[in-house]
Amino acid sequence: MAAEEVGSVCRASVCLCVLCGLPAAGKSTLARRMVSTAAQHGWRATVVPYDNLIPEQAFRTRVVEDANLQDMHTEWKLHRQAVLHCIEQFLQRSEIQLETPSSSGISIAAWEQCIGALMEPEDLKVDQTPLIFLLDDNFYYPSMRYEVCQLARKHSLGFCQVYLQCDLESCISRNQNRSQPVPTEVILEMVKRLESPNPQKNSWEINSITLNTTGTVSKCDIQRVMELISAALSNPLSLAEDSKEQKEADRLKCANSVVHQADQACRRLISETMKTARENQVPPESMRYLAAELSESKAIFLHNLRKRFLQEVPFIQEEEINVEHVVKRAAENFKQDTKEIVFRIINNDKKA
């Protein structure tokens, strides 16, 4: 898409653009350049800087006891959701207002600065002008990014992601030159956890690009981001697609869980069957044949179990499926198969 065509596509009025990557990878610098470039194309754009919006105390870790479970977590997740809630409330208002939702827990001053950049210019018609939110955060887990995608689905907004890939040494070096640097150990820990957008694994991440920001961001890079956002504006997400996508993902996840646990149960049954056969002095040659038969039977059994589960079990949420009960019934069926195999082999030995 040519540069002059980028500003002409605005079938969707709003786009949520996620900027993700390590600290000091260049997200804030890119965001500022995108705001300037968007304005040149007649778009309204603003940066949503999570570091400024979320108070420092939200990052402090605390221990929460839930029955016998101790889980380390922070209030950060709640504040992240509050940021998205603020965006949602802003979009639902008929008029732009410098107002922060009550009890949001985020910085009012930072939020007012964020949406102040979206005040209607005199020469623009708001209902025809694309509105771009550039979400500036690390977003190192896919689940963090998926929350943004869900918001876009809910309101049929455009959604896209830009992953800023920068080598660790450069990030650490840049970070040390900041007025308020992030502790180096935090960056090192984030490297271990960071999962970049993966459209092959997560179909909802299909509208993503990667920029190498170890060096400087070029005009070509800016143009790529503009084209990405333009494509997202032209193809707003659908709640129906999200429902179908999540349904299939949950079904597959549950099937994998059932088959995995059934596999473990079948292995235990095979081990017990082989032990019983040895105790009954089954000849070595017959033992080898028995082991091969049981192994082949297990493979076929698990294949059919997975196929039946995916094709025949009506979809319901995973937590509503009694996986333990399904696995128990499957193990009982396989146990009957093992008995038939052992019975056949022992009878063949007697006839011989």
pLDDT of residue 70: 32
Is the CB of residue 74 less than 8 Å from the CB of residue 61?
yes
Same domain, 249 and 227: no
Same domain as 179, residue 82: yes
Q: 248 and 101 share a domain?
A: no
Residues 169 and 309 in one domain: no
User: Which residues lie across from 163 on neighbouring strands?
Assistant: 20, 210
Q: What is the pLDDT of residues 86-104, one digit of tens each?
A: 898 888 874 444 455 555 6
Contact by Cβ (8 Å): 210, 165: yes
Same domain for 101 and 224, yes or no, is: yes
- CATH code at 161? 3.40.50.300
Q: Is the pLDDT of residue 252 over 60?
A: yes
Q: End of a domain among 171, 206, 237?
A: 237
What percent of the chain is predicted at pLDDT more than 70? Answer: 76
Q: In this structure, what token pair is assigned to residue 49?
A: 């800087």
Q: Mark whether 106 and 225 lie in a shared domain.
A: yes
pLDDT exceeds cutoff 60 at 44: yes
Mean pLDDT for the stretch of residues 62-84: 55
Tokens of residue 44, six digits? 């309204």
Domain end (from 186, 217, 237): 237
What pLDDT score does 160 carry? 97
Tell me the pLDDT band of 330, cut-offs 50, 70 and 90.
confident
For residues 222 and 294, membership in a common domain is answered with: no
Tell me: do 252 and 298 sit in the same domain: yes
Last residue of a domain, one of 237, 252, 273: 237
Q: Is the pLDDT of residue 322 over 80?
A: no
Asked whether residue 87 falls in the same domain as residue 126, the answer is: yes
Residue range 66-79: average pLDDT? 49
Q: Check: CB of residue 146 under 8 Å from CB of residue 81.
A: no
The pLDDT tens digits for 134-145 are 999 999 888 889
Domain extent for 162: 3-237
Other beta carbons less than 10 A from residue 257's beta carbon: 15
Q: How many domains does the chain have?
A: 2
User: What is the tens place of the pLDDT at every residue in 112-141?
Assistant: 888 877 765 554 455 578 899 999 999 988
**Are 26 and 173 contacting, i.e. CB atoms less than 8 angstroms apart?**
no
> Are both 261 and 190 inside the same structural domain?
no
Please indicate, yes or no, whether residues 83 and 197 belong to a single structural domain of this protein.
Answer: yes
Helices 239-279 and 142-155: angle between axes, nearest 10 degrees: 140
Higher pLDDT among residues 229 and 297, named by residue: 229
Rounding to the nearest 10 degrees, give the CA dihedral for residues 256, 257, 261, 266.
Answer: -20
Task: Say if residue 225 is in the same domain as residue 281.
Answer: no
What is the pLDDT, as a whole number, of residue 58?
Answer: 56
- Whether the per-residue pLDDT at 105 is higher than 90: the answer is no
